[in-house]
Amino acid sequence: MFTGIITDMGEILDLDQRGDLRVRIGTRYDVGGIDMGASIACDGVCLTVVGLGQGNTGWFQAEVSAETISKTNLGEWQVGKRINLERPLRVGDELGGHIVSGHVDGVAQVVGMRDEGDSTRVTFRAPQTLARFIAPKGSVALNGTSLTVNEVNDCEFGINFIPHTKQHTTWGEVSVGDLANLEIDTMARYVARLREWE
């Protein structure tokens, strides 16, 4: 379980396709404090640590299945790409974002960007099947970041990125056409499911 508050920006150090994709990710986390089998959200995707090591920087390895690649933007990862990282929520931690599972529902595409003062308003297009779960002033996780939706227009929705978010996550590097891992709010999913039974 995660909160969508990014605590590190990792870097893809190596990609090795051998059955499943094996990825090595550089991190500022103290890898001595990471257990084998631990979960880390990588651009919003909950991945299991299968290897750890030190070099010029600490790193961990994870295996990515074809199923995960088919539902996320991980198939576009390249060596050198920076990604958002978050360690799991621990009992007693502050819940600063919203409850995020790390189980990505699909991808949203960046279809527009404009500066508003020091912030950047980004417009995303969600898949039709997921758009009904996105509401103004509701929460979504995009590339693992807990964000508040500003407005919704059919399948498109807007997010305002403040300078702090752009500086401390990979959202400062976003471009039109980029694909983002989208996890809808768990509460929205359950409310919609309950309404089906009315």
* 18-34 pLDDT tens trace: 889 999 999 999 999 99
As a whole number of angstroms, the longest Cα–Cα distance in the chain is 58
Q: Is 188 helix (H, G, I), strand (E, B) or coil?
A: helix
Q: Is 76 helix (H, G, I), strand (E, B) or coil?
A: helix
Tell me what pLDDT residue 174 has. Answer: 96
| pLDDT value at 51 more than 90 | yes
Q: Which amino acid is at 198?
A: E
| pLDDT value at 10 more than 70 | yes
Of 11-15, 61-65, 81-85, 131-135, least confident by mean pLDDT is: 131-135
Measured CA to CA in angstroms, residue 131 lies from 101, 114, 136 at distances of 19, 22, 11
Tell me what pLDDT residue 84 has. Answer: 98
CATH class of segment(s) 8-86: mainly beta
Could you state, in order of their start, the residue ranges of all structural domains in the chain?
8-86, 106-196
Predicted structure pTM score: 0.92
Pick the residue with more confidence: 160 or 195? 160
Nearest to 107 by CA among 85, 75, 78: 75
Q: Reduced to 3 DSSP states, what percent helix, strand and coil does the chain have, rounded to the nearest 5?
A: 20, 45, 35
Same fold, 8-86 and 106-196: yes
Q: What is the CATH number of domain 106-196?
A: 2.40.30.20
